[in-house]
């Protein structure tokens, strides 16, 4: 019980005593014998009845005045019941709840006026006070209003005195607090579950506030960077990982505050000094307290960057090879022209019987060297498969890269139909014919196809098909250059699956 309620009960006790004294004073006046209620006034050694009655009346007046002061100070429901359960007194605060005046209650039985209270906790408690003459306190919900009351019932001379304090707002506040606690507990459980799910991810996931301080660090981050959660939490992420951003950190914070997300590539340094290239995703979310935090998901692309650099270097090598091939084609065209001239000369010399066996051997040697030179160019690439075939799809050339990727030696595959290298699905869907048709019409075509090795295993390849022309520009076949991208495709699928699980 708080001090305010205690003061109210003290007033009620004082009120009960005043009402008791009032009754005694009234009784004394009616009987004409004030008894011990007031001290007698002595005038010349004797007590006068007139003076005593005057004193009693004045005491009664003062008692009534004090009684009215107390009653007017009570702003809660207040009423008095006699032992027959009839209303002796009811204040306006109480009677106005059912749109009645205090005089409408006086002399009326509470159970006839309020039958809904029969058989309730309210009836049980006030009957107990009436019978046992002991104070009781309890909370009840209104039967005629939507309010809640804190009841205090006191035994009194007439019967019982009842004080009802409206605690509806308090009850509502308690209900709101209970609901908020339940929501908070639910949020805590959800946060705990989400943290457990994040710990299952192989990607580095951590949370920081907009000032940069880390508040959560998952198992994937521990594995990637080498810092334990205890070491990382509380540190500024940019300082801990020595982050090299593509743009100023202030610009990134601005975009997070305005657009709630930022994606890009950064450079991090692990606990052990290893440089890592990171593909990062920043997402602004609200924590259980409604505060903005940043969920950072990082994927190590160091190996991919290395592969991209290798591919870039290979592309440079291929450009050089293409340039060499173009130069070789020019040389071959020149050689063909020279051969034609030589043939004409040979025919002329033969006709004139001037050609010699030595000159013929020298020409054949030059042709053999040219052929070897072209074969060396084709065989120079081991990471890329370079395959030549004619318009009927018969394989004409097969480099070392093709041997490594497909498992066939040149002797095993040259002269065979190239359909052996395609999956039945790609052949049936028409993807292969579509790519060859595009290369035939446009000169070049690119795409991704499933390829089949000698042992029957499959891999996904990035394929570039170039049309081969003869010296007159007429198509005579195709040159296929391809490399295995299966690992890249698996990484992309794993990343997509992880992102979908986080979104759930």
Question: Residue 39: what pLDDT?
Answer: 31
For position 279, what pLDDT does the model report?
95
Q: Which CATH class is domain 381-504?
A: alpha beta
Cα gap 79→207, rounded to integer Å: 61
Please list, residue by residue across 393-421, b when 16 or more beta carbons sit within 10 angstroms of its beta carbon and e when fewer do.
Answer: bebbbbbbbbbebbebeeeebbeeebeeb
Residue 175 pLDDT: 85
Q: What is the pLDDT of residue 214?
A: 95
CATH number of 3-165: 3.30.450.20
Q: 328-359 b/e with 16+ CB inside 10 Å = b? A: beeebeeeeeeeeebeeebeeeeeeeebeeee
Below-70 pLDDT ranges, the chain: 1-73, 181-182, 184-201, 328, 332, 346, 349-364, 366-381, 504
Residue 202 token pair: 């192989």
Domain ranges for the chain: 3-165, 201-300, 302-373, 381-504
- Helix (H) or strand (E) holding 266, with range, is strand 261-269
Q: What is the pLDDT of residue 359?
A: 60
Q: What is the pLDDT of residue 31?
A: 45
Separation of alpha carbons 148 and 3, rounded Å: 20
Q: Are 163 and 14 in contact (CB under 8 A)?
A: no
Quick one: pLDDT at residue 82?
Answer: 96
Which pLDDT value is given to residue 40? 35
pLDDT number for residue 497: 87
pTM: 0.33
Mind listing the pLDDT tens digit for each residue in 461-480?
Answer: 999 999 999 988 899 999 99
Yes or no: domain 201-300 corresponds to CATH 3.30.450.20: yes
- The number of residues making up the chain comes to 504
Strand spans (E) along 301-443: 385-390, 395-398
């Amino acid at each position: 019980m708080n001090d305010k309620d205690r003061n109210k009960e003290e007033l009620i006790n004082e009120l009960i005593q005043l009402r008791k004294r009032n009754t005694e004073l009234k009784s004394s006046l009616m009987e004409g014998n004030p008894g011990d209620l007031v001290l007698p006034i002595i005038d010349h050694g004797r007590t006068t009845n007139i003076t005593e009655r005057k004193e009693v009346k004045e005491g009664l007046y003062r008692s009534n005045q004090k009684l009215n002061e107390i009653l007017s100070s009570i702003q809660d429901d207040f009423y008095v019941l006699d032992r027959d359960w009839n209303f002796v007194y009811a204040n306006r605060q109480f009677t106005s709840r059912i749109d009645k005046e205090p005089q409408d209650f006086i002399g009326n039985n509470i159970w006839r006026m309020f039958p809904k209270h029969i058989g309730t906790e309210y009836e049980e408690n006030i009957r107990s006070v009436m019978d046992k003459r002991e104070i009781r306190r309890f909370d009840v919900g209104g039967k005629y209003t939507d309010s809640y009351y804190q009841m205090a019932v006191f035994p009194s001379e007439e019967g019982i005195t009842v004080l009802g304090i409206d605690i509806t707002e308090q009850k509502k506040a308690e209900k709101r607090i209970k609901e908020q606690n339940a929501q908070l507990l639910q949020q805590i459980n959800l946060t705990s579950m989400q943290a457990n799910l994040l710990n299952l991810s192989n990607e580095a996931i951590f949370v920081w506030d907009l000032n940069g301080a880390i508040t959560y660090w998952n198992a994937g981050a521990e594995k990637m960077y080498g810092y334990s959660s205890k070491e990382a939490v509380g540190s500024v992420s940019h300082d801990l990982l020595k982050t090299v951003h593509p743009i100023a950190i202030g610009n990134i914070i601005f975009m997070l505050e305005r657009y709630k997300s930022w994606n890009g590539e950064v450079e991090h340094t692990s606990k052990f000094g290893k440089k890592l290239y990171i593909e990062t995703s920043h997402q602004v979310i609200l924590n259980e307290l409604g505060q903005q935090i940043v969920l950072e998901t990082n994927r190590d692309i160091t190996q991919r960057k290395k592969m991209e650099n290798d591919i870039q270097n290979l592309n440079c090598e291929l450009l050089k090879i293409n340039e060499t091939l173009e130069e070789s084609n020019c040389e071959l065209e020149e050689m063909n022209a020279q051969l034609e001239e030589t043939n004409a000369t040979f025919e002329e010399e033969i006709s004139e019987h001037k050609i010699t066996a030595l000159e013929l051997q020298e020409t054949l040697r030059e042709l053999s060297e040219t052929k070897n030179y072209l074969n060396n160019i084709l065989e120079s690439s081991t990471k890329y498969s370079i395959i030549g075939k004619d318009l009927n799809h018969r394989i004409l050339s097969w480099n070392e890269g093709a041997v490594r990727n497909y498992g066939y030696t040149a002797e095993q595959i040259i002269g065979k139909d190239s359909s052996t290298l395609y999956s039945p699905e790609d052949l049936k869907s028409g993807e292969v014919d579509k790519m060859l048709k595009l290369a035939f019409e446009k000169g070049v075509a690119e795409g991704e196809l499933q390829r089949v090795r000698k042992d029957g295993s499959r891999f996904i390849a990035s394929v570039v098909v170039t049309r081969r022309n003869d010296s007159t520009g007429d198509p005579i076949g195709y040159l296929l250059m391809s490399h295995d991208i299966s690992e890249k495709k698996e990484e992309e699928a794993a990343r997509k699956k992880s992102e979908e699980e986080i979104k759930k």
